[in-house]
A and B are shown apart, each in its own frame.
Chain A
Amino acid sequence: DGGITQSPKYLFRKEGQNVTLSCEQNLNHDAMYWYRQDPGQGLRLIYYSQIVNDFQKGDIAEGYSVSREKKESFPLTVTSAQKNPTAFYLCASQPGLAGYEQYFGPGTRLTVT
């Protein structure tokens, strides 16, 4: 059963703590993406990675960090430097040069208090 998994679905943290969101795909896609979604807003790109061990900043990378040590995994860390971390976080993958269609995971809702 191929797809993208994100865990956990809901995450609660205290202000000042770093938190890591998981994203795994078994679609053999080359590219992976992290987006942030706020109520009534479109999707804003945080980071993306085209190949293993390489990633680029998106439009709102400040306060976030990522790693891409394996093709199937692209975890996102929300650091204490992110001023407004409460949001819905979406991970997506894309075949790469073979196609430009992005497929999304179910999302993680992070609440920081």
Chain B
Amino acid sequence: GQQLNQSPQSMFIQEGEDVSMNCTSSSIFNTWLWYKQDPGEGPVLLIALYKAGELTSNGRLTAQFGITRKDSFLNISASIPSDVGIYFCAGRRGGSEKLVFGKGTKLTVNP
């Protein structure tokens, strides 16, 4: 099955820094979702996006639905140690009941 191209694969940052990650696809998507997964746990939904160009925030997290509908971006501002984890993007094509997932961005925050 298709997977989304998510980058970077991993990031090592200092506490307080801002973080950016993105997902791209060759196909158009109608829905973009961003999840965070802690080790040994299920992914937790952070942000859902439904319209091209949409910009949505959840606390220090901001995600955007790309205007081409083939990409999405997640930004984390002023990172803190509890931001550590793996962030996944997921997209849904029109007419599909299934999500397509990226392979994740592993974030490490040094205090």
- B36 CB to nearest A CB, Å: 11
Question: Is B98's beta carbon under 8 Å from chain A?
Answer: yes
Tell me the B85-104 residues at the A interface (CB within 8 Å).
88, 90, 92, 97-99, 101-104
User: In the bound complex, do residue B33 and residue A102 qualify as a contact, i.e. CB atoms below 8 Å apart?
Assistant: yes
Bound: A43/B92 CA distance, A: 14
Bound: A103/B90 CA distance, A: 12
User: In the bound complex, do residue B33 and residue A106 qualify as a contact, i.e. CB atoms below 8 Å apart?
Assistant: no
Question: Is B1's beta carbon under 8 Å from chain A?
Answer: yes
Question: Is A52's beta carbon under 8 Å from chain B?
Answer: no
Number of interface residues of A (CB under 8 A): 25
Question: Is B3's beta carbon under 8 Å from chain A?
Answer: yes
User: In the bound complex, do residue A48 and residue B88 qualify as a contact, i.e. CB atoms below 8 Å apart?
Assistant: no
A43 and B88 in contact (CB under 8 A), knowing A31-B97, A101-B33, A102-B99?
yes
Classify the interface of chain B: helix, strand, loop or mixed.
loop
Closest to B33 in A: A101
- B2 CB to nearest A CB, Å: 9
Bound: A107/B35 CA distance, A: 15
A-B contacts besides A42-B104, A107-B40, 20 pairs, CB < 8 Å: A31-B97, A42-B3, A42-B6, A42-B102, A42-B103, A43-B88, A48-B97, A48-B98, A59-B1, A88-B40, A90-B42, A100-B99, A102-B45, A102-B90, A104-B42, A104-B45, A106-B41, A106-B42, A107-B41, A107-B42
